[in-house]
Amino acid sequence: MPTVRTYPKDKALETLKTALAEQVPDMLNGFVITTSFGSINIEPEFAEAFRNLAADILQYQLNRITASHITRVEFIPRPEATR
């Protein structure tokens, strides 16, 4: 089980917006899913479905956090994973 990470609300929003603006569109070029069992290469011709799912999930998280009164957020993309 991964370690639970929490982030201040403003950092969480910034991280999600960056992911939606930069990382998600870049997925169309192909990408690698890394798990503890190894890696899966997703070629560009199959990337759109994954990109759409990632965009939907991240947008849902962004909307939920924006509408809430919480001050800290758990289980969002790690800031070190964004550029």
Q: What are the tens digits of pLDDT across the range 20-35?
A: 999 999 999 999 999 8
Kindly calculate the radius of gyration of the chain based on its CA atoms and give it in whole angstroms. Answer: 14
> Does position 77 have pLDDT exceeding 90, yes or no?
no
Give me 39's structure tokens.
């890696």
80: CB partners within 8 A, 6+ apart: none
Read off the pTM: 0.76
Residues 74 and 49: their CA atoms lie apart, in Å, by: 25
Q: What are the tens digits of pLDDT across the range 32-68?
A: 999 889 999 999 999 999 999 999 999 998 999 899 8
Q: Is residue 76 part of a domain?
A: no
Q: Is residue 81 part of a domain?
A: no
Q: Is residue 1 part of a domain?
A: no
Model pLDDT, residue 9: 87
3-state secondary structure of 76: coil
Q: Give me the amino acid identity at 8.
A: P
The total domain count for the chain is: 1
Q: Is residue 80 part of a domain?
A: no
| Structural domain containing residue 32 | 6-70
